């Protein structure tokens, strides 16, 4: 049995944040019905390359397993009545239309909750339903407006986006937490509620220490490349072969690093004895480390440093990252079987549950035509 078995989710969301949330719920046992536009479906069904062997965009595949799909035209009166009836039978409804769209369709929380007071209704927007309601909620835009790009990239280079739509992923995770919290409350009280998530607030919360440096200390963070604003040495270094990441988080690790690199004299230097002093003198410290690390390849240093408990590693590409996870026994790839018997390989759900583990029952659905929906 799965933890969320019996939980019925009606999913109006598209692209990434909402579909990611509903996939997590589906992995944990919920029954998820994805409502899509006839003939088009989710936007990501057209977002390729890359495609898998069956010709399906991998973007769509990445966030839509463990769902059934139904195509309904929400501008059509009959289809709208049908989907309303489905919503009144659901435990959870999730949508990420622009604020106001669901109200016009009569499928908003207030309209549905009058007839279904146990409904948990999650809305995901870019910038909330107030003054920012009309702003388009694209991940890249939020990375820019939310400050993430200002702290990402080389110190004197241009602002950079993160290499994945991270804000959407974060919003999807916050949505999942909010939905499950509301479901638990409903089971205890019999009362549903609205869950509201916006991308901008999700990002500002997820900036954690960088956000707090401003809110609590009035310091505006800037781009530092691969350096850390509060820890040193904690960055990328060149070696005689390949780059090396060195993540020294404690004084003990710094002592061990110096021992391995033949720099034991630095430990007694007051400029480097504490993390605070190392951060203040990071440029000088880096020069010593660069000279020492340049004498051997990265693999040599990873082996030596790891042996004494210092976090160090090379920069993997995605393929190497999965291979590394496999070597650790993490089994990062799962196989899901399509209706035609072919398999699709996807990243596994990382949530480990001893009694009710995630399951992979349904491959990302094909887009059904309206006739098959009605048969």
Task: Enumerate residues 6+ apart whose C-beta is below 8 A from 354.
Answer: none
| Per-residue tokens: 57 | 């965009």
User: Which runs of consecutive H residues, i.e. helices, occur in 146-297?
Assistant: 166-189, 199-206, 208-217, 251-261, 275-280, 282-293
In the chain the first and final C-alpha atoms are separated, in Å, by 30
d(CA 90, CA 72): 16
The string of DSSP codes covering 58-86 is HHHHHT--S-EEEE--TTSHHHHHHHHHH
For CA atoms 128, 198, 104, 184, the dihedral sign is negative
Give the Cβ contact number of residue 152 at 10 Å. Answer: 18
**Known catalytic residue: 317?**
no
**3-class DSSP state for residue 89?**
helix
CA distances from 190 to 11, 123, 175 (A): 22, 20, 21
Q: What are phi and psi of 234, to 5 degrees?
A: -150, 80
| Bridge pairing between strands 92-95 and 8-11 | parallel
Catalytic residue, from 27, 168, 198, 243: name it: 168
Task: Enumerate residues 6+ apart whose C-beta is below 8 A from 305.
Answer: 246, 256, 257, 260, 311, 312
- b/e per residue 105-134 (b: at least 16 CB within 10 A): bebbbeebbeebeebbbbbbbbbbeeebee
Instruction: Indicate which residues carry an active-site annotation.
Output: 168
């Amino acid at each position: 049995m799965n933890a969320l078995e019996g939980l019925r989710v009606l999913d109006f969301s598209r692209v990434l944040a909402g579909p990611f949330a509903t996939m997590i719920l589906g992995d944990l046992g919920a029954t998820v019905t994805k409502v899509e536009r006839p003939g088009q479906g989710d936007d990501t069904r057209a977002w390729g390359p890359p495609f898998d062997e069956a010709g399906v965009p991998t973007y769509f595949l990445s966030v839509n397993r463990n769902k059934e799909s139904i195509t309904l035209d929400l501008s059509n009166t009959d289809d709208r009545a049908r989907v309303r009836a489905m919503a009144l039978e659901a435990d959870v409804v999730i949508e990420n239309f622009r604020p106001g769209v669901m109200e016009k369709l009569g499928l908003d929380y207030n309209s549905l909750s009058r007839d279904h007071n146990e409904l948990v209704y999650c809305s995901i927007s870019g910038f909330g339903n107030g003054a920012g309601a009309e702003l388009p909620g694209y991940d890249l835009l939020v990375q820019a407006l939310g400050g993430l790009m200002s702290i990402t990239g080389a110190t004197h280079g241009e602002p950079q986006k993160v290499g994945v739509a991270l804000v959407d992923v974060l919003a999807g995770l916050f949505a999942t937490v909010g939905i499950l919290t509301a479901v638990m409350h409903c089971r205890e009280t019999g009362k549903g509620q609205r869950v509201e998530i916006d991308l901008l607030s999700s990002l500002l919360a997820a900036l954690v220490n960088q956000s707090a440096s401003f809110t609590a200390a009035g310091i505006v963070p800037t781009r530092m490349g691969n350096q850390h604003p509060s820890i040193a040495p904690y960055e990328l270094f060149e070696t005689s072969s390949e780059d090396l990441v060195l993540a020294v988080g404690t004084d003990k690790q710094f002592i061990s690093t110096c021992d391995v690199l033949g720099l034991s004299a630095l430990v007694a230097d007051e400029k480097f004895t504490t993390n605070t002093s190392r951060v203040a003198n990071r440029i000088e410290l880096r020069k010593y480390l660069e000279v020492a690390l340049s004498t051997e390849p990265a693999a040599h240093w990873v082996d030596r440093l790891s042996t004494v408990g210092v976090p160090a590693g090379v920069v993997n590409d995605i393929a190497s990252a999965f291979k590394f996870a496999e070597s650790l026994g993490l089994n990062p790839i799962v196989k899901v079987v399509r209706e035609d018997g072919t398999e699709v390989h996807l990243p596994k759900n990382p949530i480990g549950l001893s009694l009710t583990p995630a399951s992979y029952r349904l491959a990302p659905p094909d887009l059904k035509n309206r006739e098959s929906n009605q048969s």
